[in-house]
Amino acid sequence: MAKSLEEKFQQSIDAEQKIEPKDYMPDAYRRNLIRQIAQHAHSEIIGMLPEGNWITRAPTLRRKVALLAKVQDEAGHGLYLYSAMETLGKSRDESLQELIDGKAKYSSIFNYPTTSWADIGAIGWLVDGAAIVNQVALQRTSYGPYARAMVRICKEESFHQRQGFEIMTSLAKGTAEQKEMAQRALNKIWWPALMMFGPSDKDSVHSAQSLKWKIKRQSNDELRQAFVDITVPQAEFLGLTIPDKDLKWNEKRGHYDFGQINWEEFYQVIKGNGPCNKERLAARRKAQENGEWVKKAALAYAEKHKKQQAA
């Protein structure tokens, strides 16, 4: 009996074939990808806000240049991802409007305040470190344009993580006050960084289907565990204490056991009730309004150029 389109599609997925924009794909696959890629892109551009606040306050020219480069990279990551989303038929304008209308999600981590320079170091070290663990796995996602965007993004993320870890190293090996500042940043960002990987597998809404379609290659808990295992030795090198009294190496498992995540906090933040949700969306709205004239001018120029070409 002839295989259905869905069966042939799943066969291609199982055979590790990349799905390209013009290939047949179930509507649910398309919708799932638009959802995830849009949120990923929103996370990149909202993630520019907490760090952007510190470009003028960086302690040295070298730190300012590195942070400026990182924030510009994040804008580029957003562009790659919005472009990958558009190949699935979702308009960028519509998606950006959903973001500023508060109808779209972006990573919970960016709803926490960055009140000290050490927070910028901890973001690079922990947030970009977590993003690398998640995005390295996504380089093998079944949707071609998303996988290819990840390869480029991962190369730049490793610089982001390194510059953050270097900031934390200078502070942790600096004066007592600097080390204290680094410890406060670790205390603030550690648990929200673990929440970046999403709910636990038993509570994940999309994981089962996303794993079947190889949109996801590893589960939320697997990636979270990999991040903890990588990061604990780094904190030890810094001489900083991870704020988790249940953290301890489990020889039998070959992994670190760690404490219970505050899921109430997680769901409050993703519902819009985090410390900075309103501030982030207000800043995003203002950027969109202030940038409207640039967009209009660029589109008008492109239109005129196209007419001249056609004449």
Binding site for ligand 3HC (CB under 6 A): 35-36, 39-40, 43-44, 47, 74, 77, 105, 107-108, 127-128, 131, 134, 157, 195-199, 204-207, 210, 220, 270
Nearer to ligand 3HC, 37 or 181 (CB): 37
Q: How far is the CB of 177 from ligand 3HC (least distance, A)?
A: 27
Q: Residue 244: CA atoms inside 13 Å, Cβ hemisphere, count?
A: 21
**What phi and psi, each to the nearest 5 degrees, are found at residue 247?**
-70, 120
* 90 φψ region: left (φ > 0), alpha (ψ -120 to 50), beta (else): beta
Q: How far is the CB of 131 from ligand 3HC (least distance, A)?
A: 4
Give the chain's radius of gyration (CA, Å): 21
Nearer to ligand 3HC, 184 or 206 (CB): 206
**What phi and psi, each to the nearest 5 degrees, are found at residue 195?**
-70, -20
Q: How far is the CB of 269 from ligand 3HC (least distance, A)?
A: 7
Nearer to ligand 3HC, 38 or 238 (CB): 38
Q: What letter would DSSP give residue 25? A: -
Which residue matches tokens 């995540």? 261
Identify the CA nearest to 163 among candidates 107, 122, 224, 131. Answer: 122
Q: SS3 for 8?
A: helix
Q: How far is the CB of 171 from ligand 3HC (least distance, A)?
A: 20
Q: How far is the CB of 21 from ligand 3HC (least distance, A)?
A: 19
Q: SS3 for 250?
A: strand
Q: How far is the CB of 242 from ligand 3HC (least distance, A)?
A: 19
Q: How far is the CB of 103 from ligand 3HC (least distance, A)?
A: 10
Nearer to ligand 3HC, 180 or 229 (CB): 229
Nearer to ligand 3HC, 180 or 265 (CB): 265
Contact (CB, 8 A) for 193 and 127? yes
Nearer to ligand 3HC, 172 or 274 (CB): 274
Nearer to ligand 3HC, 140 or 179 (CB): 140
Q: How far is the CB of 285 from ligand 3HC (least distance, A)?
A: 19
257 to 73, 135, 216, 225, 253: CA distances (angstroms): 34, 23, 24, 9, 9
Identify the CA nearest to 55 among candidates 131, 122, 120. Answer: 120
Nearer to ligand 3HC, 25 or 84 (CB): 84
> Which runs of consecutive H residues, i.e. helices, occur in the chain?
5-14, 27-46, 48-52, 61-86, 92-100, 117-122, 128-138, 144-172, 176-195, 207-212, 220-238, 263-268, 277-310
